[in-house]
């Protein structure tokens, strides 16, 4: 199993935030920046306003799993930061995954199955 490469420090997150390319929906906000690498990196941010540590870690796991299952359908070479909104608190995996894929499609990083062939 390949590991997911993540953004580690606030400078890396800041570079993506400063790029100012973002889209949002009801549950998530996605920031995107090209990283000039042949792989993508992901960073996940869940504020204390969303809930206690159990809730925040659950949302983080759902977002990470959505990325892991769909990373083969995403274009490489981007730094992606996902920020969870308060509405994501009570949602299940399928709602979070649907929101994640919706934002990826808005950013044009979702590869259509017709393009793969």
The number of domains in the chain is 1
DSSP state of 42: E
In a domain, 40, yes or no: yes
In a domain, 58, yes or no: yes
Q: Is the pLDDT of residue 112 over 90?
A: no
Using one digit for the tens of pLDDT, what is the confidence trace for 50-67? 999 999 999 999 999 999
pLDDT top residue among 104 and 2: 104
Range of the domain at 81: 10-104
Please, what is the angle between helix 93-106 and helix 53-70, to 10°?
A: 60
In a domain, 37, yes or no: yes
In a domain, 110, yes or no: no
DSSP state of 27: S
pLDDT confidence of 1, banded at 50, 70, 90? very low
C-alpha closest to that of 103 among 30, 8, 6, 54: 30
Does the pTM surpass 0.85? The reply is yes
Query: CATH no. for residue 74?
Result: 3.30.230.10
DSSP string, 44-104: EE--TTT--HHHHHHHHHHHHHHHHHHGGGB-SSEEEEEEE-GGGGG--HHHHHHHHHHHH
C-alpha closest to that of 72 among 115, 16, 31: 115
């Amino acid at each position: 199993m390949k590991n997911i490469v993540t953004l580690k420090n606030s400078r890396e997150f800041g570079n993506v935030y400063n790029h100012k390319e973002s889209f949002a929906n009801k549950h998530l906000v996605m920031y995107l920046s090209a990283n000039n690498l042949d792989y993508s990196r992901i960073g996940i941010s869940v504020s204390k306003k969303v809930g206690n540590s159990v809730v925040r870690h659950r949302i983080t796991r759902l977002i990470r799993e959505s990325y892991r299952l769909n990373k083969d359908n995403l274009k490489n070479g981007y730094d992606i930061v996902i920020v969870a909104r308060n509405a994501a608190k009570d949602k299940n995996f399928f709602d979070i995954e649907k929101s994640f894929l919706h934002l990826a499609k808005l950013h044009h990083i979702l590869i259509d199955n017709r393009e793969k062939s």
